[in-house]
Structure 1
């Protein structure tokens, strides 16, 4: 249980330079009543009106002119590309003093004294200076900046018809910020201040919300959330999964025996002698229409009343052709063919089942995976699902054995894990499964530990989820955090934005349970990435977690929602680390010097632009010479960073410490805590030790992705270690880019095909 703590801290006035987030503070007299804690980067409207500052206090907020100019130059090099307009140049935050005297009803651990705001310390990222410490005239931030910009361009930018181009980072952030400002005008100053840190890539909102903020979220609040979980107990579960995936939300689902046994029995439809005996279902050209098609198919074979139905025939004529523009969500339509193939493959499974029998867990699993393939069309072949099954289920355990990708390629859509109840699993049972994991050489089936087999998780396993619940992620860039105040401020900011996100629960199409559960728990997932870059592990992570808990309580009360059951997590952060230029989540840097590769479609306007700007870094993809190019980015880990050469047990020790401090510090309610999502690469001599660690420390994690360590590389691998000489040579070919110069006659984005939660293999490897 978390107990409420009451304390009083001095009132503080804060200001910060936008470019480097340097802040100074001056104590001022509180002129308003005691109130719940506020963050140092925000300002409360009432206290703003009530406080008056002397000219001497105001002067202390100002940076000397020379230092301002220095930081303007540094900020420009941070971005490494000219992506913003003049209004996004560094400027002082226009903040007034605010009272931080508090009377928190949040529920915080006994003896916890919330931290005070950061004082006199800028939030410097690894890209904060124009030269590296060893004097390299071209900072690695330039290469990382280009990699960041291309990632943003490909995965998060919307098309701007009036400009004939895609958004750049500053415009994406403004679109996201505007969405919250319109919904919460009373929090205007707090939102403005928080989004200064987003602009500077110190804090990130939900990456899903960055993609879809605006009209797409307004018409479908599901698009706010990264992932979800539900058990397969009714035919509605299939259509809801389809709807979730089409909305861009990843999903965990359960085919455990206690869940799929609740499905109706299979009743084979009456087969007439003429086609007119079939029921014709016209599929509407919308994500709801596609999801309805899945429900109609399942209802045909699994009738609730047990009475056989007539066959169903689908009419696809209303679905727009492949390549047609999608106005609200952006991108282009995949056409009817992916849906047709998914429904036909699903019906083949249903049709071969014996009448009046029950579907097996593997049958249910395969139907879900087939439905997922029509979402992951257009060349995007990534897992968006995790399938949780009973440990005694031999069929599911062997789902990815042999050459499964040739006979059942749809199974690539899901990662599979056996569910073990911590209170009842024996060491012998655990080790038997562990040997299967080791023998598979693929990390599957995985092991998911829980205190309730009714609960589940998202594909990356960082969030513990009740049935019919969404996860809600934000991220802190801790790569260069060196003080407790900095860390606490980032935690508050991420919790503030996450709490706003938690209020978007106007769900349509889904059963009422979804909104009820999501509103009751109002989950947050305040994560951190860049952990292996700096000194964050030497700071008080419990205190930072409590700062996030406090801020969630303050903002929840202000906007009228429940406090979050769970607040903190660590996600894989494979893509967000590219945006931020950091290591991924808890994971180490690949090497001191290495090459990071990204693939680019030659048909996109980005390709000729990059070919002109940095031709020495681009080559044809050896596997797809005519259609795909590979861009190579030289990368360097910060001095003293943790590298991939660390042992598996060293990484697991970091996981344990994060769980005990950051995860548990942010846990209010629920039978399961959140998790540190981790991919553990195990060398041949480490398997026994890792297995023993996982058994003896099973309370310190829910699920881990465990793979054999691979020291070999292959041509054009995503990561490749290189020498300093190679790094230096490649850096000479780096030049600044401005992606506003990339013009497109029509919308070429494919955001609706980029799934939010892609599992640990896709996120990290």
Structure 2
């Protein structure tokens, strides 16, 4: 592995071994993950009373060895989530099975649905959430005023006497009415989640309607910096949780963006005044939840909000967030304003006015302070086909701001019904399904509410080998090896659906759908080496899709479980591709001949400290407070590290038109992918309109892709940034090797204290989105 690959592995998958006083090496990580994956079949057989015969044991042993060797050789991978959280020998971490899943989705129609979202994020699962206008109407009305919330001064209790579960205590008046409650928050992720649920209960349930004071006690939460043994990392202390509750209170009382949002509408419920929330409030609360989940140093959270296209408050929620910095940005903003006014679409008038005023006065607009809204990717989730004018409006907004995206839930619903055996579903059936489904943050997995998916990956490039002959070297595909890897990938994915989930409703949906996500990476590198035309590629993709389906059907029958609803998908593959040697991620081309690759990490992680002391280039996360760089670095919870990268690829993103990238997406959708193909299409300034015209005219084949201006748009600290060869050389000259002795020192300092084997630290430093 190169510096980038080794850093990504150490940051993302290598667990600290307490007894050995060091982090895992690659061999140990692979062994741990493969054993955990195979354990699911063993335990499933025991649960259903299926004999574990000597023949079955031998087959499981052989398959374990085969998968271990393939994964150790970087040919294929289990889910990155399992590579971090999977451990057959750790009963503590096994209690939190959802930590093994990449993807989750929930509709928000009850306040406690937000608690499920909170839980998923705390165990490191990327989560989508949806709240359409009709969904928000189902939320119980909530009290806005008539009560005080007091955050009691923090005085850590310490052990013994540690409280893991959250408790609520009631105080009554002389008539026996509950007028005061104290919510004492337990030091566990379940405790944090239950505290949020109780907070919503007090503000919505009739039994608490007389409450005029809510006290929040945080004394049992471990201080910031306390090391966490089972999931790794450090606790964040009570401060993020206090920020979250205060932020939620500000949302309810319309203090976050009062100039552009109307207060919640008051509704009378018997003898108490409450108000009806709208989707924008759900989005803000979900983002505040994500903003304060410190997720093990990769990123605080991964969320996607699927919004109603007719909910213009949500459509414009992030507009202007990144600011306006050039005359070109301002010109595009003016075009968008003109189009919005012509369409008669409601928009945040005061924000637009301020953008004009600031840019005219100073030559720039600094953006809003609603930084929590950065936590989710927002996409308009269409059930009916949008008008051309609406598509073009979103085109202009994405060119400037990167959001909101576009999702076609109608096509996603059709794919679900096709998978159920209904090949020609009627319109009403598709609409009914479309209203109940959503996607994960990277949009490759189609999920029912409370649904999950665990994804596996094959590195196609590693199955292309050089063969020398009289005419020189040529490249050939190890077709049988690739097909066998797909069989192993599908079987490993199905095994993960056997796991017993800790949340009953999520387990019920998982047991019904049993989604597997057999993905590919290094694909463009492989095709470039082979020189294959599109027809030959399509034939290979079709074979791999059929192999995956056949493998899971046979294995499901053997295990006596339902056949998975979906089998194949393509995920972004940004992380595992780096571990695999920097191969082209997913179906993407390399970014540029020379570029900066940015990686995020928790600022308190020992690896971050070792990187800092090794002299690497580091920036504080966007939105961090501070008067200058040094103050921002001191305040930042997340650091962003720059890696100079040079690729040997002949074709890069700059060489491939947006239309060609979209055509590649369509081919994968036709020949390989059951669900969706995650694809970030990089778009040059002159390509936007033509691309969106193409999408509009091919809407029925489209589920959703991401779009990124190749010039970077207004996205600060983007994951990729093109640089010149000279800049690459300059950066490389000062980019010294990582000092592993420093890493060992900081690891030793952090993990020297003996901690309990429970998982009760996940709430303050949940493992990362891997």
SS in 2 for 1:472: strand
Instruction: Report the equivalent of 1:745.
Output: 748
Cα distance in 2 between the residues matched to 1:364 and 1:447: 19
> In the aligned structure 1, how far is the partner of 2:109 from the partner of 2:718?
44
| Residues 1:408 and 2:370 are matched in the alignment | yes
State which drifts further: 713-722 or 364-373.
Answer: 713-722
> 1:447 is matched with which residue: 406, 412, 423?
406
SS at match of 1:407: coil
Q: What is the CA-CA distance between 1:293 and the residue it aligns to?
A: 0.9
Note the C-alpha offset of 1:584.
1.6
> Do the aligned partners of 1:159 and 1:747 also contact (CA within 8 Å) in 2?
no
Q: Is the 8 A contact 2:454 2:496 kept in 1?
A: yes
Report the counterpart of residue 287 of structure 2 in structure 1.
369
Q: Are positions 1:356 and 2:274 aligned together?
A: yes
What pairs up with 1:381-400 in 2 under 5 angstroms?
382-400=300-318
Rounded to whole Å, the distance in 2 between the matches of 1:697 and 1:739 is 55
C-alpha spacing 1:219/1:458, structure 2 compared with 1 (3 Å): same
* Correspondence 1:156 to 2:13: yes
Match of residue 678 from structure 1: 679
1:605–1:294 Cα change, 3 Å = closer
Aligned to 2:219: 317
Instruction: Judge conservation of contact 1:382–1:412 (CA < 8 Å) in 2.
Output: no
Aligned to 1:298: 200
- Out of 131, 135, 150, the residue aligned to residue 255 of structure 1 is 131
2:623 aligned residue: none
Aligned residue runs from structure 1 range 727-742, under 5 A: 742=744
More helix by share: 2
Q: Is 1:503 aligned to residue 503 of structure 2?
A: no
Structure 2 partner of 1:486: 481
Question: Aligned pair 1:417/2:379, yes or no?
Answer: yes
Q: Alignment partner of 1:644: what SS?
A: helix
Q: Mapping of 1:52-451 within 5 angstroms?
A: 79=1, 145-185=2-42, 186=57, 187-214=60-87, 215=90, 217-268=93-144, 271=147, 277-303=179-205, 309-351=211-253, 353=264, 354=266, 355-376=273-294, 382-403=300-321, 406-421=368-383, 424-428=384-388, 430-438=390-398, 441-451=400-410
Q: Distance in 2 between matches of 1:272 and 1:339?
A: 18
Structure 1: runs of 5+ lacking an equivalent: 1-78, 80-144, 668-673, 759-765
Question: CA 1:356/1:716 → structure 2, altered by over 3 Å: closer, same or farther?
Answer: closer
d(CA) in 1 for partners of 2:112, 2:149: 30
Number of equivalences = 596
Structure 1 match to 2:521: 529
Using the alignment, how far apart are the partners of 1:607 and 1:416 within structure 2?
30
Secondary structure of the residue aligned to 2:524 is coil
- Contact 2:598–2:717 (CA under 8 A) maintained in structure 1: no
How far did 1:453 drift?
Answer: 2.4
Q: CA RMSD in A?
A: 3.6
In structure 2, C-alpha distance between the alignment counterparts of 1:398 and 1:629, rounded to whole Å: 27
Offset, 1:686: 1.0
On the 8 A contact 1:478/1:528 being kept in 2, the answer is yes
Q: 1:699 Cα shift?
A: 2.8
| 8 Å contact kept, 2:122–2:295 | no
Q: Deviations over 1:8-39 (max 9, x none)?
A: xxxxxxxxxxxxxxxxxxxxxxxxxxxxxxxx
Take 2:73 and 2:387, find their aligned partners in 1: how far apart are those partners?
A: 48
Note if contact 1:250-1:755 (Cα within 8 Å) is conserved in structure 2.
Answer: no
* Compared CA separation, residues 609 and 291, structure 1 to 2 (3 A): closer
- 1:343 deviation in Å? 0.9
Give, in angstroms, the shift of residue 305 of structure 1.
7.9
Establish whether residue 472 from structure 1 lines up as the match of residue 454 from structure 2: yes
Deviation of the 1:192 alpha carbon: 2.0
* Structure 2 match to 1:636: 647
Instruction: Report the CA distance between 1:513 and its aligned residue.
Output: 2.5
Is the Cα–Cα contact under 8 Å of residues 305 and 376 in structure 2 kept in the other structure? yes
- The CA deviation string for residues 406-463 of structure 1, in whole angstroms up to 9 with x for no partner, is 3322111111111111xx3243364354345346x12211111012122100011000
Quickly say closer, same or farther: Cα 1:740–1:159, change in 2 above 3 A. Answer: farther
Q: CA, structure 1 residues 344+569, in 2 after alignment: closer, same or farther (shift >3 Å)?
A: same
Cα distance change of structure 1 residues 697 and 740 upon mapping to structure 2, 3 Å threshold: farther
Structure 2 CA distance for aligned equivalents of residues 292 and 602 of structure 1:
28
1:645 aligns with 655
Distance 1:199 1:419, change over 3 A: same
Following superposition of structure 1 onto structure 2, how do residues 547-696 of structure 1 map, counting pairs within 5 Å?
Answer: 547-580=547-580, 581-594=582-595, 596=597, 606=607, 618-619=616-617, 624=629, 632-638=643-649, 640-663=650-673, 667=674, 674-696=675-697
Q: Would the alpha carbon gap of residues 369 and 485 (structure 1) be closer, same or farther in structure 2, given more than 3 Å must change?
A: same
Q: CA deviation at 1:753?
A: 4.4
Q: Provide the TM-score with structure 1 as the length reference.
A: 0.71
Change (3 A) 1:480 1:649: farther
- Relative to structure 1, the CA distance from residue 635 to residue 555 in structure 2 (aligned partners, 3 Å threshold; closer, same or farther) is farther
Q: Cα deviation per residue 1:455-486 (whole Å; 9 max; x = unaligned)? A: 10001100011111002111111124324323
Tell me how far 1:701 sits from its aligned partner: 2.8
Distance 1:238 1:608 in 2: 34
Question: What TM-score comes out, normalization by structure 2 length?
Answer: 0.70
Distance apart, 1:327 and its partner CA: 2.7
- Where does residue 9 of structure 1 map in the other structure? none
Cα distance in structure 2, aligned partners of 1:557 and 1:306: 51
